[in-house]
A and B are shown apart, each in its own frame.
Chain A
Amino acid sequence: MSERRDIELIAELVPHGSRVLDLGCGNGELLALLGRERGCSGYGIEIADANVLACHERGVNVIQLNLEEGLALFEDKSFDVVLQLDTLQHLRNTEKMLRETARVGRIGIVSFPNFAHWPNRLHVAFGRMPVTRVLPYEWYDTPNIRVGTYADFEILARKDGLTILDAFGIQAGRIVRTLPNLLASVAVFKFEAA
C-alpha cells in the first residue's frame, strides 16, 4: 500500500477534472482524493475482496477484476489518466499491462518500489535480498514478483514506445529528482503512448 504522502504527491500529477482509471486501486483512497480535491471521476479496479468492500464503503466506483486478464472492458483512450500505483510489480504480465495502460489512457502514471535504492544495493552487496520499509517482505514470501529499478523502467518505456512526460523518485514523502535511481525507494513515471 502506498503511503498517504506518496498518494498526495502522485495526485498532483493528475489534471483537474480528469476521467481516471486506477488499476489496483486498493481501498480507494486515491480515487476519493482525486474526486474530492481535483474534481476527477472514474473507476478503480481491484481484485482483493477486502479492498473492494473498502471502496464500496468509501463510495468510490470499483470494478472487481483480475488485472492479469487484461483490460478488455475498456476502449482505447477512454480515460484521461490511467494510474497504476504500487501494482505493476505484482503482475505476471507486467509489459502487457503497461501496453494496456497506454492503450486505454491518454496518460499513464505508474509507481513501483525502486530496487536500486542504495540501501537495497547494500543488502545485495552483503549477499542478502533487501528487507526495508518499502520492501518489507522476505524473498520467499514477497508479492513483488517483478523486481525492477528506476533505470530499468526507462529502458522498458523506450522499448514499448512510451514517451516519458515526467519522472521522479519519492523518498520519505519527498520528491527526488537528483539521482533518483540511487536515492529514492519509490519510482514514479508519467508517460503517454508516442
Chain B
Amino acid sequence: MSSSVGVVQPQSIHFAAPLPLASGAVLVDYTLAYETYGTLNAARSNAVLVCHALNASHHVAGTYADQPRSVGWWDNLVGPGKPLDTDRFFVIGVNNPGSCFGSTGPTSPNPDPRAGGRAYGSDFPVVTVEDWVDAQARLVDALGIERLAAVIGGSLGGMQALAWSLRFPDRLRLCVAVATAPKLSAQNIAFNEVARRAIVSDPDFHGGHYGEHGIVPKRGLTVARMIGHITYLSDDSMEAKFGRDLQRAALGYSTQEVEFQIEAYLRHQGDKFSEYFDANTYLLITRALDYFDPAREHGGDLTATFAKASCRFQLVSFSTDWRFAPPRSREIVKALVDNRRDVSYAEIDAPHGHDAFLLDDPRYHGVMRACFANLAREVA
C-alpha cells in the first residue's frame, strides 16, 4: 500500500562561495531551499534528485504542518510504496536560484552595495538550466552524496535532468526525463514571449522594481499564466472539461464579462497564480527555457552532444502533449541510440496534454514504478 511521506519540513542551506553563471555574471552567495524524504543509506547510493518545472518548488511530497492543502507537487509519484518509493530512496527536492519559494531570487536582497539593501528585482542575473544544475550539484555535495541514483524531472525539470547527464556524467546512474524536449521550438519561445510581454507591459511592473513601489504586476502575471495554462492542456481535455458551456443560462451579449466557463477557469487560474508567484521569476524561468539548447555548442548535433553522457536514460512522453510532443522526446532517444546508451522510452497515450506528467495515469506510473524498482535493486 502506498501512503504519504506525511508532514515535512523545508530546510535551507547557504553557500558562501560565488556561483559563476553562463552569462558571465556571478551569484555572489546564495541560499537553496530544499526538502528530503526517506533515508540516505550507508553507502550513500540511494539518493534521487527531483528537479522542478516552471512554477513548482522544492516541496515535492508530503504536507506542511497545519496546512492540509499544502500537498507537494509530485506527491502522487513520491512517497512510501509509491513509484519513487521513499522506503527505498532518499529523495531530494530543491528550489532553483531565481525562483520565489525560499531560494535566492529576485525578491532576495541584492548584495551589491549600490542596491542599498533593496531586493534584486529585475537585476537578478539571468540563470540557465546549466546554472541551476551547478547550484544543485553543490547541494548534493553538501549532503555528502558523490553519485546520485537518479535525477528526475518533467518538462523544464526534464531539461535539468538531461543537463545533469551532460554536465556531471559520472554523478548519476539514471536520468529520468519526462515530457521534455532537447530545446524549445519557435512556437514554444513565442508563447513564452507573449507571457513576458504581458508582465513587462503591465503598468505596475515598474521596470521589474515593483517591490519598491509596494505593488505587483498582477494583471500581467495573470495573463501570463492564462497563456501558459492553455499550452499545458490538450484540445480534447479542454473540450471535455468545458466545451462551450456558459457561465449563465443565456448569452449576456457582453465583450467584457465572462461568458464561457473556460474563460472563468483561466481567469481563476491566473488570479490564483498572481497571488503567489513572482513576476521577475516568471521572466527568468521562461528565459531559461528559451535558452536551453545543449546541442548549440555542437553545431546543433544532438548525437555529438550526448556522446559525453554515460548514465542510463528513461524517457516518457504523452500523446496529446503539444507543448513538448512525442517527436521531441524521440529526438533525444535517437541521439542516445546513436551513442549506444541504455535508454527506454514510453509514449503514453493519455488525453491530458502536457499536464499528464503531473497526473497518475496507471500506464505512466507503471513504467515509473518498474524503472525505479530496477534502480532500487541496483543500489541496494
Contacts and interface: CB of A to CB of B under 8 A. Distances in A.
B333 A63 contact: yes
Contacts of B337: 43, 63, 73-74, 78
Nearest to B317: A64
Interface string B339-380: 010111111110000000000000100110011011000000
A52 B346 CA distance: 7
A55 B344 contact: yes
Interface residues of A, number: 19
A177 interface: no
A59 B343 contact: no
Nearest to B368: A56
A63 B343 contact: yes
Contact of A64 (B338, B342, B346, B366): B346
Interface in A14-28: 19
B167 interface: no
Nearest to B340: A19
Interface of B is mostly: helix
Contacts of A73: 330, 333-334, 337
A49 B370 contact: no
Contacts of A57: 370, 373
Contacts of A65: 330, 345, 347
Given A53-B366, A74-B337, A63 B345 contact: yes
A74 B336 CA distance: 11
B346 A56 contact: yes
B344 A49 contact: no
Contacts of B347: 64-65
B340 A56 contact: no
Contacts of B348: 49
B346 A43 contact: no
Nearest to B366: A53
A89 interface: no
Nearest to A45: B345
A21 to B, nearest CB: 9
Contacts of B330: 65, 73
Contacts of B342: 61
A85 interface: no
A97 interface: no
Given A43-B337, A53-B370, A73-B337, A62 B344 contact: yes
Chain A CB within 10 A, most for which of B344, B370, B374:
B344
Contacts of B334: 73
A61 B333 CA distance: 11
A20 to B, nearest CB: 12
A56 B343 contact: no
A19 B334 CA distance: 16
A55 B347 CA distance: 14
A64 B363 contact: no
Contacts of B370: 53, 56-57
Interface string B88-109: 0000000000000000000000
Interface string A65-96: 10000000111001000000000000000000
Kindly list the 10 A-B residue pairs having the minimum CB-CB distance in the complex, ordered from nearest. Answer: A56-B370, A64-B347, A57-B370, A59-B374, A63-B345, A73-B334, A53-B366, A49-B363, A64-B346, A62-B344
Interface of A: 19, 41, 43, 49, 52-53, 55-57, 59, 61-65, 73-75, 78
Given A73-B333, A78-B337, 8 more contacts: A19-B340, A43-B337, A52-B346, A53-B366, A62-B346, A65-B330, A65-B347, A73-B334
